Chain A
Amino acid sequence: MKQLALLLALVFLIIAVLYWTGHFYPAGIHAKHGIVSVILALLCLVWYRFQSATPAR
């Protein structure tokens, strides 16, 4: 699951860049779509953090 979280974070970051550079469907620059993709990437990183943390005793 840790690897999946990191992979998804990377995918969302790439999607954000594609949105901001106008290379993602539908064509054109979509700033809001990019921002949402970054937020999803950050949430995936938090998920990774939760998976990595030492379990509570």
Chain B
Amino acid sequence: MRPYFTHASAFRASGKASPACEPSRVVTFLQAMLLAVLQGVSELFPVSSLGHTVLLPALLRWGIDEGSDSFLAFVVVLHLGTALALIVFYRDDWVAIVRAFVATIVRGRIGDDPNERTAWLLVAGTVPVGVLGVLLESSVKKLFASPIPVSLFLFANGFIMLLGEWLRRRQHPSTTLRQAQGDTVAYRQLPELKGTDGVMVGFAQSLALLPGISRSGSAIVAGLLRDLRHEDAARYSFLLATPVILAASVLEFPKLFVPDAHGVLAQAVVGGVLAGLTAYASVAFLTRYFRHSDLSPFAWYCLAAGAVSFVLFATKVIA
């Protein structure tokens, strides 16, 4: 859930508030804590944080004014908390990657050091999502940031992950997942990817501009299709998430200082800390999970959640 990936700016742009009832100006502490946990979990789990933050308040009829300056300030702090959690979790990696990045520029070439290659793979994967995000986010959100399209995209997100798993199994037909994890010939390590592979993963995660499509899910699927194991694809996705979330948070940082934001700062601080803790726990869990398991459970969840949400909103059970 990146600030420029959020539904909040879209609701503002389209002039729509939360659809349930008369919007309230400020999130309560309870709402702040629930949204923070939702952000921390769904940002890294491949289930679309943006999709969930559109759907959940609508399903619960919270009536938050998601276009208000106070809510945008709150969301910025949640993202800062998430980005800091990722930096702390991968702190050793980031130190090595930044050092390697600077070394390549000083030397004028990329050597064989895995960290140097990883650094430039991160650049290759970040540029597409950065450029497309800045150019397209507001127009995409104007079109799609409402519960029914989000439900359909969430369903599509599940389908994309199942399709990715099916294609991966076709690429490596002779192995089951567990056998494949130990198959060092068929699979590549992250630093073995080419720059074009990184760009492809970058374009894949740009699909998350569509609310309901998961950034981490689409990036992991793209990584799998470039012959990464689940574990490496997830690590690449989480490393890619850090500059994207951090940059977006920094760009939106001035929103914390608008007058309307003062009334929500306490909730934002509590939410930011909670989002950070939850994100840390999520990335710790997922890095272990993907050593032995695949995307299927998340795919089936997205299919079910998308279908149920679509029925509820389309039949106006929830207006």
Binding site for B on A (CB under 8 A): 31-33, 35-36, 39-40, 43, 46, 49-50, 52-56
B288 beta carbon closer than 8 Å to chain A:
no
Alpha-carbon gap, A46 to B120, bound state (A)? 11
Q: What is the minimal beta-carbon distance from A47 to any residue of chain B, in angstroms?
A: 11
Chain A residues with Cβ below 8 Å from B110 are 50
Kindly report which residue of chain B lies nearest to residue A46, judged by CB atoms: B105
Judged by DSSP, the binding face of B is helix
Kindly report which residue of chain B lies nearest to residue A54, judged by CB atoms: B108
B109 beta carbon closer than 8 Å to chain A:
yes
Q: Which of A31, A32, A40, A50 has the most CB of B within 10 A?
A: A32
Judged by DSSP, the binding face of A is helix
Alpha-carbon gap, A46 to B116, bound state (A)? 14
Chain A residues with Cβ below 8 Å from B130 are 36, 39
* Contact between A52 and B4, CB atoms less than 8 A apart: no
Alpha-carbon gap, A46 to B124, bound state (A)? 13
* Contact between B105 and A49, CB atoms less than 8 A apart: yes
Alpha-carbon gap, A31 to B255, bound state (A)? 14
Q: Which of B106-159 contact A (CB under 8 A)?
A: 107-111, 123, 127, 130-131, 134-135
Alpha-carbon gap, A49 to B109, bound state (A)? 8
The contact sample of 14 A-B pairs, CB cut-off 8 A, is A32-B4, A32-B134, A32-B251, A33-B135, A40-B131, A43-B123, A43-B127, A50-B109, A50-B110, A52-B108, A53-B108, A53-B109, A54-B108, A56-B111
Knowing that A36-B134, A40-B127, A46-B105 touch, tell me 15 more A-B residue pairs with CB under 8 angstroms: A31-B251, A32-B4, A32-B134, A32-B251, A33-B135, A35-B251, A36-B130, A39-B130, A43-B123, A49-B105, A50-B109, A50-B110, A53-B107, A53-B109, A54-B108
Alpha-carbon gap, A54 to B134, bound state (A)? 36
* Contact between A49 and B108, CB atoms less than 8 A apart: yes
* Contact between A56 and B109, CB atoms less than 8 A apart: yes
